[in-house]
Amino acid sequence: MVNHLNKFEEMKRKLYLLILPIIISALIISIFFNADNQGFNHFVIPLLAGVYSISWVLIYKKKLFFYVEYLNVILISVLHLLKVFDIVYYEMVVGKSITTGNATFWTPLVFAFIFVTLKGRSSVIYSFTLWCLTIAIGLFYWDEIPYYASESLVHYFLSNFVYFIFLFFSRHIISAYTKSEMLEKIAYEDSLTSIANRRMVYLWLERALKKEQPFSVIFFDLDHFKRINDEHGHIIGDKALVEVALLVKSMLKESDYFGRWGGEEFIILSFNREKQKMIELAELLRKAIEAHDFPEVDRVTSSFGVAVVQSSDTAETIVNRADDALYIAKNNGRNQVQYKEV
């Protein structure tokens, strides 16, 4: 059965698809360079390479994603503890080794898998329990470990705890940042057209006026939009608004600012166009909207008002002047561009 993954799960899936081949490659390299024919690595490394290879195939095909994720967390946790036992007993107690070896490099992966897979408090409890078990193995054989190896083991345990703390706070920081970004998006983005809303436009205007930047404003709306809603329904009307937003956005420069003022009204701020260029741009947009093929709507036209900022302007006065120019265009028969001086 193929899993239907949500956005977060799909992101995790892509992460696994990227990371697992790197881990598998490292394990295969270890098989060829492993001189320990009887020890822990002799059976664990090939096992891990096989399990991760199968996992990658299942994740790639979106099969059993939930089970593969949790199986890998359990597997890597058990193998982590077995590896700690191998380091402490076989390498330090029996072999008199003074270092923890390559395990130090891969330990962060254990906690990373846990924090990516498990949610909320369960990831913290699971990770802390795993760390405590890691400590317990070391303490059990502490009196048998050579004195000169104890410092290395203490550093290993402490580094494990640092990884745990780092991942814990990293996830909270990312979560807080994501929530902040989402709230900002809700506050400043129009939910229908995905362009800026009126609140964002006011911020642009205030910033430009504060910096005393010369700029121009185009204010436009769709002619007889109420008729479109009445004849075709609000869903078709909304589609027309989205089409207009996409069309206009595609014709603007990156230095132009485009937002939805409300209803069928839109506004453009430009910092790199003079009066005549703005009038020409408005005319170009008007013709593009008139010529555009709107699904389920016979024809859509629009009226434009253009204004250039003056030294005495506020956000309200520059918008009102552009709106007055739009009103003139409406009174003169619609589907045209008008400019208003101070």
- Active-site residue flag, 181: no
**Tokens read off for 80:** 């982590």
Burial profile 206-217: b = 16 or more Cβ within 10 angstroms, e = fewer: eebbeeeeebbb
Q: Of the residues 151, 181, 264, 280, which is catalytic? A: 264
User: Pick from 155, 66, 157, 185: which is nearest to 117 by CA?
Assistant: 66
| Cβ atoms within 10 Å, residue 197 | 19
**Tokens read off for 95:** 């072999």
User: Pick from 334, 328, 257, 260: which is nearest to 300 by CA?
Assistant: 334
Distance separating alpha carbons of residues 270 and 224, to the nearest angstrom? 27
Residue 297 DSSP class: -
Distance separating alpha carbons of residues 108 and 131, to the nearest angstrom? 12
Q: Provide the pairing of β-strand 302-308 with 256-262.
A: unpaired
Just list the catalytic residues.
264
